[in-house]
Each structure stands twice: as C-alpha cells, then as structure tokens.
Amino acid sequence: MPASIREEVDHFLGSAVTRDTVTRLSCPSCGSAHVAQVLGDNGGISYVCTACGHSWS
C-alpha cells in the first residue's frame, strides 16, 4: 500500500500528473499563492488574492 495520498494519486493517474507539471497561480500584485477562483459578474472566472484582496480575471 502506498505511503502517502500523493503516491496513491500518482499511481491512479499514472505519469499524467507529476510534481513538475503542476502550475501554481500567484497574485500578480503581491506574489502570494493564496488565490481563490470565483465566478465573475459576467459569468466568467475571476481570481482574488486572499492575502491582499487584489482581484483579476
């Protein structure tokens, strides 16, 4: 049995998901990785930084 959840997910998905292929979103204003995805006013996707409050789409 795998020692971690990551190993289990990697085993389940095969080589499609690896640590090197993960793209992290960061705030363009402060650089924080604490970003939430939200539904925008026009139905599109927007992002908001939970560290500084900056929002963008």
Q: Amino acid identity, residue 24?
A: R
pLDDT of 42 reads 80
Closest CA to 17 of 28, 27, 8: 8
Residue 49, number of CB atoms within 10 A of its CB: 21
Confidence of residue 26 (pLDDT cuts 50, 70, 90): very high
In this predicted structure, the answer to whether residue 52 has a pLDDT above a threshold of 70 is yes
Percent of the chain whose predicted confidence (pLDDT) is above 70:
60
Tokens encoding 28: 């363009």
What pTM does this model have? 0.56
CA distance 14 to 8: 10
In this predicted structure, the answer to whether residue 22 has a pLDDT above a threshold of 90 is no
